[in-house]
Amino acid sequence: MAVDPRNVNLHTTKLRNEVWLSLGIVAALAIVPAFVHSPYWIGVLILTMYFAIVTSGWNLLAGYAGQFSLAPAPFAMLGGYATGVLAFKLNAPLWIGLPASIVVPGLVGLALGRIVLRQSGVYLALTTLAFGEVMRVVASNWIDVTRGDQGLSVPTLTYSYTAYYYMFLGTLAVTVGVLYCLLRAPLGRFLQAIRDDEIGAASRGIDLVFYKTIAFAISCAICGLAGGLYGTFSQLVSPELGIIEQTGLVIAMAVIGGMGTLVGPLIGAILVYITSQLLQGYGSLQMIGVALLVIIFARFFQAGLWGLLRRLLVRRPTSS
């Protein structure tokens, strides 16, 4: 398949700019504990980074490959249970449990992807939604293994919020770096070709199901890692981790930050989750505020905050 070198260079430059901005945000977050000493707000920022990791994983599939899954939260839940069951039932150490939070969701995603990714659009969304609900119901009712809605205890890596802050921050940085490497490789160009024109991509010899399945498995593995790490932080994994509202937050973060970009999930997670916490005391206004943001960005700024900022920078008048 012939590739236009100009498109490759543009793609590489765009990715490079986004990864440097993403790492700049990570570096800025690294100094926050020097100024924020409240355990509550450190916890809020930890959960913000958890959502940024999950959203980054979902964005690989939806933003870059154009495959709309409604199961990022259930796969994060699956990663949490993979770590929790090994620790609680088999007394496995966390150096085994945490890698399992990557491997188990990744393998489930690989198997599921081979089945569902021959579909697209609303059929794929509904299939993944149904599968996610099945996983959540199983977790709620498989009392002997998961302890149902009571939740499963997970050992912690440390009792220090600051240490967990930097663990999540480091995981977020590694996630961005891994996605950057994947998207710079031919895989990234193939996924975007599939997103933009599936028929054209197939006519040029791209194996649609194969590459979509690979993206789905990697996306699930990233979500699972976030869920496993979250389980050790909260010391509890429950079916609530996989409810549809969690998936809704992930999608809102990607849409508001900018889908199909490396930096969008970070910007979206910071804006949406911190805003939702600031509105927490106002009851239903919390979700109304997030919903209004999604409606505004979906209607007027479909490229998200990062797309809007980039457009403003491009249009900035130059001095004569």
Predicted confidence (pLDDT) per residue in 37-80, tens digit: 999 999 999 999 999 999 999 999 999 999 999 999 999 999 99
Residues contacting 41, CB < 8 A, separation 6+: none
Say how many C-beta atoms besides its own lie within 10 A of residue 66's C-beta: 21
Q: What pLDDT is attached to residue 2? A: 46
Q: How far apart are CA 302 and CA 317, in angstroms?
A: 23
Q: What is the pTM of this model?
A: 0.93
Cα-based angle 306, 220, 214 (whole degrees, multiple of 5):
90
* Domain extent listing, the chain: 5-242
85-122 per-position pLDDT tens digit: 999 888 899 999 999 999 999 999 999 998 888 877 78
* DSSP H or E run through 236: strand 236-237
Q: What pLDDT is attached to residue 299? A: 74
Which of left, alpha, beta for 260 (phi over 0: left; psi -120 to 50: alpha)? Answer: left
Q: What pLDDT is attached to residue 7? A: 55
Q: What pLDDT is attached to residue 319? A: 46
Q: How far apart are CA 242 and CA 133, in angstroms?
A: 8
| Contact between 226 and 53 (Cβ < 8 Å) | yes
Mean pLDDT of the chain: 89
pLDDT lower than 50: segments of the chain:
1-3, 318-320
